[in-house]
Amino acid sequence: EAQVTQNPRYLITVTGKKLTVTCSQNMNHEYMSWYRQDPGLGLRQIYYSMNVEVTDKGDVPEGYKVSRKEKRNFPLILESPSPNQTSLYFCASSLGRGDEQYFGPGTRLTVT
Amino acid sequence: EDQVTQSPEALRLQEGESSSLNCSYTVSGLRGLFWYRQDPGKGPEFLFTLYSAGEEKEKERLKATLTKKESFLHITAPKPEDSATYLCAVRGSQGNLIFGKGTKLSVKP
């Protein structure tokens, strides 16, 4: 089954404790992206990757890092989480940057 | 500046009461408009892509149409299971997808 998977699905952590949210896709897509979704603000892009070892900032990259060492994986790293990073996070993938994107199930992060 | 605006923010319908959701956009040279459905706490699910004015696509009770300035998602005889938030996105001038804030649809039996 073609899918995007994310782990963990739920995470509660404390300010400053580094965390990683994993994302994997099995569709051989070149483009992958991370979004956060907040009430009243909609989906906002954090980082994206056009291919292995090629990443770039989206609209709200501050406080986040990413890496793309393999085509199928695109982890999101929060090195020092803060409460304003409490949000619902989605990973997505597509054939190309402007093509329809397929989303993972989401990771609900709470930073206290 | 590329922009996507969806209206209304929320829509409540009775089962069987047809209606339309609107997505207006501002982008230089449209290269794709996308509709997604999102259930609470889940990832958006892709529905349609439209590329040129006059294009229409259908899936069950949903039909998406496109003009040069806006797109409509028509819902015919909706059922309670159609309740969800519907998101519209366009391919922006920089190549990325720009999402609207969505229309939350509730269909009461």
CB contact under 8 A, A42 and B96: no
pLDDT average per 10 residues of sequence, chain A (112 residues): 94 97 97 95 93 93 97 97 98 90 97 98
Q: Which contacts of A70-75 are long-range, i.e. CB under 8 A and separated by 24 or more positions?
A: A71/A28, A71/A29, A71/A30, A72/A24, A72/A25, A72/A26, A72/A28, A73/A22, A73/A23, A73/A24, A74/A23, A74/A24, A74/A25, A74/A32, A74/A33, A74/A34, A74/A49, A75/A20, A75/A21, A75/A22, A75/A23
How many CB contacts within 8 angstroms connect chain A with chain B? Answer: 47
Q: B37 to chain A: which residues are within 8 Å by CB?
A: none
- DSSP element (H, E) containing A31: strand A31-38
Dihedral sign of CA atoms B59, B32, B96, B87 in order: negative
Quote the pLDDT of residue A88. 97
Residues A61-93 pLDDT 10s: 999 999 999 999 999 999 999 999 999 999 999
Quote the pLDDT of residue A28. 96
